[in-house]
Structure 1
Amino acid sequence: MNLRELQYLVALADLRNFRRAADACFVSQPTLSTQIRKLEDELGVALFERSPRKVMLTPAGQDAVARARRILTEMEGMKEAARRLSRPEAGIARLGVFPTLGPYLLPEVMPRVRERFPQLQLLLTEEKSDQLLARLNEGKLDAAILAMPVNDPGLHCEPLFEEPFLLAVPRHHPLAAARSLRLGDLSQHNLMLLEEGHCLRDQALEVCQLSGAREGSEFRATSLETLRQMVLAGLGVTLMPALAARGMVPYADRLHLLRFEDSSPSRQIGLFWRKTSAMAPLLLQLAEVLRGVPPELLDPPGEPRPAELA
């Protein structure tokens, strides 16, 4: 058994097609098929069910693929460690971020990252949080910006900042007359939320539970932009993170952004990486840069607080 055979095994498991797996590994299909069969003979079990139209993993194959991924991740970590020892701030770093934060945070912090690490090639991936976690644990990402907490003992978390939530309401909504908001004011109101899979949905549901608000059952959005447009159209109210809410200020004639004055709901943002990662020293430095988000960007852009009106 060798590393190349494990690479063939993982490629076939991912693509479920011998020809595509061979192309991905830059070998001929007969070569890949022979090596997979050799691996099965060595292990004494069938790893794949083969049919003319599809390839499926057997239970033994699922276990073997999981182990192969871990081995390949560790080998890649060994190579990366060697690269980092020779050039600690050069090379490639693969960073993931979830979609209700990435479009609003990255334009603010990327110039600072490039200034601090001019030789670092940062490859960005935007996915939902559960997909980012899977890619992080598979070694396909080096780090990910996620909402805390994340219950994974294999990951290290470096807290970055706290992002408050605001309530976005149409100008004609009963709550629009208020200058600020208490959680109890949401009682009996319906909130438009994102679809399943977005961490912001889970955070908004927690606010609903605390306040007595309900989820509007007739609509679930696929993005914050969709929620914004629904509020602008006067079709409902929603929770909006502070960074995203700043993009709604130009529409002040059509909507109202309300700050919460008690138990202000927010989300904690952190940078996560594998505890075994050889890139930890670099990622600690990256966290310092990401932590430097200007405070005014996290100050909710809603109606002024009473102290600000004096």
Structure 2
Amino acid sequence: MKTLPTLRQLRYLVTVAETHHFGQAAEICAVTQSTLSAGIQELEGLLGTRLIERRSRRQVVFTLLGEDIVERARALLADAASLVDAAQAGAQPLVGDLRLGVIPTIGPYVMPRLVRQLREGYPDLKLFLREEQSATLMEMLNAGRLDVVLMALPYAVGELPRVEVGEEDVVVAMPDGHPLTELESVPLDRLDQETMLMLEDGHCLRDHAMEACRLARSRGNEAFQATSLSTLIQMVAGGIGLTLVPRIAVPVEARPGSGVTVRPLQGARAARTLALLWRPASPRARDYRLLATVIEIVTGEALAEADTVLSNLLEQGVLI
């Protein structure tokens, strides 16, 4: 029977990779430095290869194979932790630690509702949130550093298990008093005549919005790229140009007094589908599906609030 590495050995290896220091890693693992070093040497002997180049006490360099083994070890440790959580939970859903990643164009508009709902309904769940762009979230999920991610599709996620929790379009945001505020909805071809402000490359909302509005990837009238929707909104309020925002963001980013007016777009496709994803064969898949149900509820509430904001202002004869 093949001899396998122990979880303790893998934990030593991953901790050294995270700290790049044997002493600090030993302190985190609550063992002596000699014990930690011996554990890693045993792992290297078991695998038959060198994982770390010990150049000095202060310089720890991983071999290429060592870096690959670290990522695999992270995933194994995460799955082992999830297995323990699932066993301890038994018939009790959503308890223990759960590491959730979310993209920045969803997080501010869904997470506050979600956290409140989970605290009320599942008080034994300890939720850790990480907000990153889609590419980083996928790396962290595959490496076992996140349990689930909430992101927007389409995106290259392979065959990962997923539950779709909502679908939304984008609206155009413009400064108060802009000529297009006189319209109840904005024709797509009018955007070609405006200075556009967009999120920088790497934000999937940029691609989703441009695809939904049939805009070219390289726009001659694109004057500014930002790292966040809030920055774009401030630029719009300052009269610099127009931008595209997801409908779910309307109550936060285009609230009264923001200096920004929003309008629906004529003929735009649905921009994106929100989905919760996790690794295949996860022992907590049942919990993740339940979490997706809760997210679907709070996402629906957020979208309904956005629609109410729009329709109420229209009924009052004040187009925001």
Normalised to the residue count of structure 1, the TM-score between the two structures is: 0.86
Residues 162-201 of structure 1: pairs in structure 2 closer than 5 A: 162-201=167-206
Whether 1:214 aligns to 2:203 is: no
What is the CA-CA distance between 1:168 and the residue it aligns to? Answer: 0.7
* Residue 42 of structure 1 pairs with residue 38 of structure 2: no
Alignment: residue pair count: 308
User: Which amino acid letter does the alignment assign opposite residue 307 of structure 2?
Assistant: D
Does residue 64 in structure 1 map to residue 77 in structure 2? Answer: no
For 1:63 and 1:79, locate their aligned partners in 2 and report how far apart those are by CA, in whole Å: 25
**Structure 2 contact 249–306 (Cα < 8 Å) conserved:** no
SS at structure 2 position matched to 1:79: helix
- Distance in 2 (CA, whole Å) between partners of 1:303 and 1:211 is 31
Q: Distance in 2 between matches of 1:97 and 1:67?
A: 23
Counterpart amino acid of 2:260?
L
Deviation per residue, 1:148-167 (Å, 9 max, x gap): 13433452111111122111
SS of the equivalent of 2:256 reads: helix
Aligned-residue Cα RMSD (Å) equals 2.8
**2:296 aligned with 1:296:** no
Stretch of structure 1 that moved more, 36-45 or 223-232 = 36-45
SS of equivalent residue, structure 2 residue 304: helix
CA distance in 2, matches of 1:214, 1:307: 36
Query: Against the structure 1 CA distance between its residues 256 and 152, is the aligned structure 2 distance closer, same or farther, given a 3 Å change threshold?
Result: closer
Counterpart position of 2:264: 259
Structure 1 runs (4+) greater than 6 angstroms displaced: 303-309
Q: Which moved more, 1:11-20 or 1:204-213?
A: 204-213
Q: Helix, strand or coil: the match of 1:169?
A: strand
CA distance in 2, matches of 1:199, 1:163: 14
Relative to structure 1, is the Cα distance of residues 249 and 25 closer, same or farther in structure 2, using a 3 angstrom cutoff?
Answer: same
* Gap runs ≥5 in structure 2: none
Please give the TM-score of this superposition, normalised by the length of structure 2: 0.84
Q: How far, CA to CA, are the matches of 2:99 and 2:245 in structure 1?
A: 28
Aligned counterparts of 2:165 and 2:296: Cα–Cα separation in 1: 5
What letter corresponds to residue 296 of structure 1 in structure 2?
Answer: A
> Within 5 Å, which residues of 2 pair with 1:225-240?
225-240=230-245
Q: CA deviation at 1:102?
A: 1.1
State how far apart, in whole Å, the 2-side matches of 1:216 and 1:303 are. 31
Correspondence for 2:111 = 106
Q: Does 1:27 align with 2:35?
A: no
Distance 1:42 1:290, change over 3 A: closer
In structure 2, the residue corresponding to 1:299 is in which secondary structure? helix
> Larger deviation: 264-273 or 3-12?
264-273
Amino acid at match of 1:37: Q
Q: Deviations over 1:67-90 (max 9, x none)?
A: 323332332233223123253343
Q: Which residue of 1 aligns with 2:275?
A: 270
8 Å Cα contact 1:142-1:273 kept in structure 2: yes
Give the Cα–Cα distance (whole angstroms) in 2 for the partners of residues 230 and 146 of structure 1: 25
Partner residue in 2 for 1:10 = 14
- In the alignment, what sits opposite 1:94? 99
Once residues 131 and 163 of structure 2 are traced to their aligned partners in structure 1, the CA distance between those partners, rounded to angstroms, is 19
Once the two structures are overlaid, the 10-residue window that deviates more, 138-147 or 226-235, is 138-147
- Give the equivalent residue in structure 1 for 2:137: 132
C-alpha separation in 1, matches of 2:308 and 2:212: 17
Partner of 2:255: 249
1:100: Cα distance to partner? 1.6
Question: How much identity, in percent, do the aligned residues show?
Answer: 38
* Paired letter, 2:48: G
